[in-house]
Chain A
Amino acid sequence: MRDTKSIHVALLILAINTFTFAQTGTEIIERVDDNTVVVSSGYNAKMLVSIGGTVREKRFFGYTEGKKLAYMEFSYPARDKGTRFLKIEDEMWMYLPTVERATKIAGHMLRQSMMGSDFSYDDIVENERLIKLYDIELVGTDSLYGKECFALELTAKVPEVSYYFRKIWVDKDMYVAVKAELYAKSGKLMKEIAISDFKRIGRYKYPTSIRMVNKLRKDTYTELILEDVELDIKIPDRIFTKAYLERK
């Protein structure tokens, strides 16, 4: 009898344990989204584009609203000054001061590098929450940059995704993604993203230092550093319009 009782107790403890700790991959990603998906943001940013050891700095500022609306304007260097981008849902426009007209970035242009960086326009246009696009599986834990992390594997469950397969590592304490690998349908690793710094703002832990590596090129990386981040601020609607993009 006592044996059965202790087994019962053991089972109960196990059950509680499972209940508390066995989160699914989807739950983990949801918690990450809670930490990082903001209502709106405004920021200044520095982009360090490194190609073959030469680092070039570019500066821009921008606003976002949800994942659907974004505006960016380059201010440095002089050559790029005044170059603006507008994203509305999954469409993107670019304004070059020399052309004085906005052009839509569509189709295969989206694959191209943005301002010579390791980011493609695709990487910026993407606006759907991961849980809607992917089956998420928790495959284990990993130690990464001295932090304990959940290792997650995401496989596309709808056809319309840029990357068919992703691996994401999520910091166990902070519930933020610290690393991601993006794969083509054939299984080829295409991009690697590492997030090394976060800023606690209100209830968010907002990534402020992002390093993107295009694995199809050699000796390149792009580091994106966000400064003066303001979250959940009121952004005038007119900013996310083509008229504002093309303003003189």
Chain B
Amino acid sequence: MTAVKLAWRNVFRHTRRTVITAAAISVGLSAMILMNSMMNGVDKLASQNIIDYETSHLEIFADGYYREEGVFPLDTIIDNPGLILKKIEQISNVKSVAPRVKFQASISNGIDELPVIGVGVDIKKEKEVFKIVNSVVKGSFLQHEGDVLIGKDLSRDMDLDIGSYLTIITKDRNGTYNAFDLTVSGIINTGHPLFDRNAALISIEQAQELLAIFDGVTELSVRVRDDRNLVRTKERLVQAVGKEYEVYTWRELNAAIFEISGFKRMAQFMIALVVVIIAAVGIINTMLMAVMERIPEIGTLKAMGFNNQGIVKMFVYEGGIIGIFGSLLGCLIGLLLSLYLVHFGIDMSAMFGNADIVYPMKFIIVGEIDYWTVLSVFLFGVFVSVFVTLWPVRKATRLQPVDALRHV
């Protein structure tokens, strides 16, 4: 107990020095927490966007369809989705299935032509699997043959509004040009750049006619009831549909994005680590100074019968107290900044420009706090503070009381 009391008093002998040392740790830790919240937010939003608008939880293609992202071949499609639809729906974890037809196209407003991804959606099933229906901000969802839904960015770029006409142009399965005049029935705002800027949604029947693929679809999107064990559901799907089809989880289809995200996390962690190391050097410095200036005191304590263990404890506690202060402050600042992110978000679009073309979200970063990370960052801060104290302390334990007392 004496050691704790002594440590506590020692900490406040040089308040300013203590505060500066602790603040260095705080800066490092709060940066770690903030970066973590940012990355969590980015990943969560990207995942949500992918699941809610792009792929749902699982996707089924004809065998050989999926080559890489952004390629939409028409030579290997699911010609008769009715054959496997029943089998898929019978799997217990499957909530609902929606067919889609994706194709490369361009749209013209009579003045300019712009490349887009055409998406044919099943008007009834779509809302059971995706959230496009809820993202209509103007007008209404597809209702009649000849309706088209476009994103708000595309509507701005092409100067299109509800009731405007546009022409969708593509080549059908045989390579023959086909083009339909459509009326804009609704404008969507999803937060997913593909759909807000780059896609035109039409009824699946119209897409099938446009592409001359009869009842064919390019994919079946599956929403599950419980997404915690997607891999098992995937295995059951693979068994159910057989070898003529391939099944992917949304994560597999977006592996590249999560790989990027992993690299980013790594890089950000490294930066934060450097800050923490600098802070640690600060602690070493402070503790070393404390040891140096207290050499006569240490001599006195030792002469009075204080053993080495007691000395070590005293300094380690002192480092620990500084560490706890600094870590607490750091976590608090990190949390407050993260909370700001959670509630307000920051618009990074100016910084990233059009980076959202590769990342399935817009760069308004909304934070997502992981409290386990905050706790581990706190413990990490305290541990580092204590650990780096050990070296200066060694010096103190090696002192002979006689030499120390003579030291001026």
Contact = CB atoms under 8 A, between A and B. Distances in A.
Given A108-B104, A217-B113, A218-B111, A184 B169 contact: yes
Contacts of B174: 159-161
A85 interface: no
B8 interface: no
Given A111-B171, A216-B169, A184 B110 contact: no
A186 B178 CA distance: 6
Given A111-B106, A216-B169, A163 B176 contact: yes
A129 interface: no
A216 B175 contact: no
Interface string A153-189: 0001001111110000000000000000010111010
Given A216-B167, A217-B108, A188 B175 contact: no
B241 interface: no
A190 interface: yes
A185 B177 contact: yes
A164 B176 contact: yes
B176 A160 contact: yes
Contacts of B269: none
A160 B175 contact: yes
Q: Which of A156, A163, A184, A219 has the most CB of B within 10 A?
A: A184
B169 A185 contact: no
A107 B171 CA distance: 9
A108 B179 contact: no
A163 B111 contact: no
B228 to A, nearest CB: 39
B181 interface: yes
B180 interface: yes
B59 interface: no
B219 interface: no
Nearest to A112: B115
B172 interface: yes
Nearest to B180: A186
Interface string A31-67: 0000000000000000000000000000000000000
Interface in B8-38: none
Contact of B177 (A112, A190, A217): A190
A216 B171 contact: no
Interface in B162-220: 167, 169-172, 174-181, 210, 212
A217 B111 contact: yes
A182 B110 CA distance: 17
B235 to A, nearest CB: 33
Nearest to A158: B174
Contacts of A185: 172, 176-179, 212
Interface string A107-123: 11001100000000000
A94 B212 CA distance: 30
A218 B167 contact: no
A164 B177 contact: yes
Question: Residue among A112, A156, A159 with the most chain B CB within 10 A?
Answer: A159
Contacts of A182: 177
B179 A188 contact: yes
Nearest to A161: B176
Which interface residue of B172, B176, B212 has the most chain A CB atoms within 10 A?
B176
A218 B172 CA distance: 24
B179 A162 contact: no
Contacts of A111: 106, 169-171, 177
A186 B112 CA distance: 20
Most chain B CB neighbours (cut-off 10 Å) among A107, A185, A214: A185
Nearest to A188: B179
A163 B169 CA distance: 12
A240 B59 CA distance: 44
Contacts of B108: 216-217
Contacts of B210: 186
B179 A184 contact: yes
A19 B169 CA distance: 44
A188 B172 CA distance: 14
A175 to B, nearest CB: 28
A108 B170 CA distance: 8
A219 B106 CA distance: 18
Contacts of B212: 159, 185
A217 B176 contact: no
Closest 3 CB pairs of A and B: A159-B174, A184-B179, A108-B104
28 contacts: A108-B104, A108-B171, A111-B170, A111-B171, A112-B115, A159-B174, A159-B176, A159-B212, A160-B175, A161-B174, A161-B175, A162-B171, A162-B175, A162-B177, A163-B176, A163-B177, A164-B176, A164-B177, A184-B177, A184-B178, A185-B172, A185-B176, A185-B178, A185-B212, A186-B210, A190-B169, A216-B179, A217-B108
Given A184-B178, A184-B179, A217-B111, 10 more contacts: A111-B169, A112-B115, A160-B174, A162-B171, A163-B177, A184-B176, A185-B212, A188-B167, A214-B113, A218-B112
